[in-house]
Structure 1
Amino acid sequence: MLINLGRLLMLCVWGFLLTNLFHPYPKPLTYFINVALFFMVVMHGLQLVLLKSTQPKDQPISRWLETKIFIFGVFEMLDWQKKQPPLKKK
């Protein structure tokens, strides 16, 4: 329930940031939103790269899951983590 609320919030944030590209806000605000959009793309990309680098080679992540992780960030990671089977101890 809360993860879906977080996903909805993340879609609203993406929408707000991308709206600035097509219909710029007034001058001082548009610079802040451009920086926030750049920061969001870099941080979600970094999160995805770090996840892919820690995954075993025999368990690749699908493109659809990569896209969802890039868009929703930590909310998709939490959902994905809950669906993973627990690790067996040696």
Structure 2
Amino acid sequence: MKTLLMLAKGAMGFVWAILILNLFHPFPGVAAIALYIMTAFLFMMHGLQTLIFIGAFGDKLSLSKWEKSSILLFGIFALLDIRRKHMS
């Protein structure tokens, strides 16, 4: 399970790298616009996930700044990793 989570986080990191690259060096044509929309959507969804998780479990779990940031970056994959870490 840990290996799969690391692979998933690597894939999500690659997605973020492409999205951020598009911000500084836009891809040609309509691809840039689509990637801008995906960047905003992914950032909002992961931000919402982070806020909901911290709101629901912030007083029950002591999370480091990296764990909170990793939810914003990796979404559900970070949540699964945090669950694995704190439930074992």
State if a TM-score over 0.5 links the two structures: yes
**Pair 1:38–1:49, CA change in 2 (3 A):** same
Identity %: 31
TM-score, normalization: structure 2? 0.89
CA displacement 1:39-77 (0-9 Å, x = unmatched): 000000000000011015253422111111111111111
1:28 to 27, 30, 34: 30
Helix, strand or coil for the counterpart of 1:65?
helix
- Whose radius of gyration is greater, 1 or 2? 1
Q: Distance in 1 between matches of 2:17 and 2:71?
A: 16
Higher helix share: 2
Out of 1-10 and 53-62, give the one that drifted further: 53-62
TM-score, length-normalised on structure 1? 0.87
CA RMSD of aligned residues (A): 1.5
1:9: how far off?
Answer: 0.0
Q: Which of the numbers 68, 71, 77 marks the counterpart of 2:79?
A: 77
Equivalent residues, number = 86
